[in-house]
Structure 1
């Protein structure tokens, strides 16, 4: 039994809704008691995986930057400049100007103290800074590209260092520390290149100012954990005959910013590959991880946090009112400008002379990461998790557990970062149990009511959408009928919001467009005949009596040699178009264009009793049209005045699909065709324009 699409859609939709609703209601009733556990398991795993993925994505640019830097340095695309250019070298004028600006910001008393003139200082700084220009530019590009990278460092065994750093006003400054033996003592020159001039005179941030110190009091890169770790990695890799890996430090507080972060360093080898030349390092702030955790809404009172291998609290999002923690400084504190204070503790300590010491904030307090024990809720959950630590597998969430804190039941879970992530950290999730269980019964009743309401509402919606689907389908059927009759010019736009139907309608229009284009290559009569007959083009031909037409442009070779290719193609296209239009109007079939020649025939694929008359008529009209074009349009536009020679012959020939199974032409062959071509050719011997055979 055949039915319409509309009725089929309604019947199928009604049956589907009835079956689905009955299934949903039954399953909801049976599985209601299990849904809470499955939901919490999936949600905890999903959040854990999301935190791992986001944290790795956040830190990964540092490792990639180190890898790219290593490749660029080893390919010598960036490197220290081995040869010191003269100060008059015009290629290094930017560096000369930068050194001039830097030296202007040293106090005269400081220069006098160390018996240095400004010219001596310029020479010392220029010789060092110019060697690091390419590396400094690469560091600046990384800071502009990655928001999480706060600083980039360079350090070598000579205790020379360079730091490219994001400043509080979002500009980028470069700090150089160079050591020299001068006047019998080792000194360290601290040189800042600030884009913001005010930093040179900032009394509150004296470590942003240019200065000269005794070498032993200045910042020493070789004592930094990132330098030591990278150096150890280098020589360990050399022994194994491998390339050194990047080295990640443990989280710590950056001394110049007082922000928590982590460093990623890579050693660079000398040309011999056996000795380390220097170390490059990226410092990443981790405060943004807390901001990300705050966006994870598991439940109204959920808590998500990250701790390191030393059980320090690195980042956390706390939405519950139970998240109290004790200890001096509170660990959480009031959130500062960078949102980092909730990851740090502060305790009073004597102020240190060196503002770059890794433990000093510069404000008389030792800044450290917050121990997990200062947050009682998190610490309680962690202690419970230790009792089931045997079930903790790297990169996997342990089975969730329950515990009580302040007489409130909680659900907790911990997971570690995967082995390949280079992070020995853990993710903790703590959620009040009521956040999951409180709405279970309510949701069960609501799901029953919604299922019933959906059943009736869907029936009405189904009627509406069935109509919306069937109407465009009817339009497509009409379009298909037009294509079958080869009516390609008019198009009815199909209005529908269904993408599949819209794509199908577009496909129909594209097919019509393609067929219109196809008409330009193959006779439209032939294409229309094949479509209407439903026949497939196969090799074969038949003997028929037809009229064949050949035309050629006189002296075309000499004309073409005088014209540019582009102009020749345009002018020839105009000529062929005018001639072909007349042939088509007279029911002729354009067989092919052979350069400037036209081959056409009459009487196939559509029968034509007066084919000989129409072929001769086309020849005469073409010559008349050419005469008009030569006297008017072509003459006025200074175009070639094409003259054509035409040959027409009528006789028996073979017409059909000639070629191979994969490609064929609908054409004519035989002596009649050859004679028509020769008739066209002998026009030049008789100085005529049209030559027809007697037949």
Structure 2
């Protein structure tokens, strides 16, 4: 019966323990690192959101503070300044107010009065953004007075440039202008509201600047509007101061996308496209992917008061926030954005540190596990080696596992039990059969197969008489000693000992392990056992006991070999005529006084390796046809000197062949003569006596005639 097995990948216990522990540690470390990273990310985003709200609040407070200051000054001006003063005197008065205002409000660019008759008086600071009517080579010019008055030919404008103290530096002659204060947004807003009004950001008419205007109708003169122009350039500077870290991007824009403020707003406003089209610079005019992306986030949800969003620009991820400025600037929005890598840098550093620490911990723990698993696996390896040796039937070499692990101790005891059981099992079952059972190449099903085998039977001459003179214990001891010696030699020669029958042994070759030289091995086993018994009997005699002379019978042929018995107990044996013939050959030894009788089939198979002596052609008990039988005298192998044929037998062998030839030809007298000579040379050889008796019996009828 063949057992089909499927090969699978094997893993050592040490590797499995180390791998499982490593996976567990890695899983726990990964979970902790993931949880920490998630918490750090959440905290970082929360901190970033808080920073964004703080920055937005600072911008809101900056604008609101500027409005409060400008509103207070405007309220005072509408109460204290007479708008009906002559334009130049009114401009000088406004200069004093602007001079004080710019100290506390750098964003204030100018202060003005607009009358219902179209007169417009403006006092403004001149710096980088000079009106185009004023020459750029003025070194001492600080203030510019713009005076617009109606005339029969239409609106006329004249410019006066003053120094720090208000003294005139240059005067520019009047010239026509299309400027009419009554058409400006602030004028209509001022008249429509009882209080101070704030215009949306717009482009100033006399300078290429964007800004806002705070306007209020005069309290003493209806129809007259006072106003303060505030540029957004100072808000750029304020945003620049709030820009930390440097990667942080800030932007203020209105709902239409017009650029209101940016840390680099001055340089952005150098774009001439807006100047040429007389409009505010838009975010998209800046050609900045990041700023356009920030504005796009606003466009995706324009109605929200505030919104956090993540977006990607040129493959880099950003976290941003957009919210309404409020406090009178409901049309303005502030947007902030920072790269994820910058924002998450500390968190990433912490995660990297955790990874390094976890990695070191895993390596350290792995070393400990490897040592522990090696300490655990070492006794198991020894146990595996012991089991492997036991499976090879190498007994007596097991080493008890030294371990404090209970399971390992139990395994060690189980291995000891296994060795004891298998060793004893082999005492009851042939070793070759046990090997095949262990190797799963032996079927335990009842039945057998026909195959060539060589059978051997032994029997102790005079055993019954010897046993009657001994106690049962002595018989058991002596018999066991005898079987140990004979059985050892038979097994050494490849025999399968079938059974011990009283004082007899049944053994066979070529099953279960098949050997082409099984006949020669059987002869070898018989000779070895016979020689071993010579030594053993010498020991018995020395000890004062009786020897145990043994007779052997060998025959080869086909037999049925397999399992015989019942479902609960079986015996691996050989059955058939060949078996019976070997047993009968053993019994024939008693007739001829021989020790090892073999059949002609055995002799023909091994005549080149062993020395045989023809014995007789006879019909064994229970047989129907006569067969030739031979006595096995010895081996021709020079490596086995103890197995050589005895010298006395070799000396008589030629004469015996002559005597046998005379006997076979019917020359009874010649045969008797030769046999008489042989009997004289070897008086103890019973074969000669048997044939001598036959010759005399054949001579008597001849003499009677």
- TM-score, with length taken from structure 2: 0.39
- TM-score, with length taken from structure 1: 0.40
Higher relative contact order (CA 8 A, sep 6+): 1
